[in-house]
Amino acid sequence: MFGLRPEVRKFEASGRNENFQYLYTGSKDYPNGLGTGGHPGSWGMFLDCGLTAGEVSRKCSTFSEYVRPTSGLTFNIVHLEVWATGYPDLMPDDFGDGALPRVLEHSDVEDWSRMREIIGRLQARSSAPGDFLMAASTEE
């Protein structure tokens, strides 16, 4: 995990656990969204499944020298950037009509839905393993 403000920081794995990524959708029993580090109720960072809000914890045992990336424990997402890595066989046409917006406003619900559809389609079509990286900025 990393932070960009007020300074660039990288939080390396502590070795205490392997709770690096969490993703659930459509569950009645577990939090629906994307978590990085920690576990439900004690996330390094968690983005809800609508990608409009998130939460962080005061401490996160997954990362060494973890510092909460926001002043509060909850936040609203203002902008979200998504990068795809490790998908060398994808072509621009794989993104459908028009390019995937690089920065999405939190109110662009149609763009959020479109982004999730595109990510699913890219993962299904690609023969190479890859990852998606997300960077969120908050109202702070």
Give the C-alpha separation, 3 to 82, whole Å. 15
> What mean pLDDT comes out for the span 46-66?
89
Residue 53, H or E segment:
strand 53-55
Q: Which two tokens stand for residue 38?
A: 């920690």
- Total domains present in the chain: 1
DSSP 8-state code for residue 6: S
Domain range for 126? 1-140
For residue range 68-107, list pLDDT tens digits in order.
Answer: 878 889 988 877 766 655 555 555 555 555 444 444 444 4
Give the C-alpha separation, 99 to 48, whole Å. 24
Give the C-alpha separation, 97 to 92, whole Å. 10
pTM exceeding 0.75: no
For residue range 6-34, list pLDDT tens digits in order.
Answer: 777 888 889 998 888 888 888 899 898 88
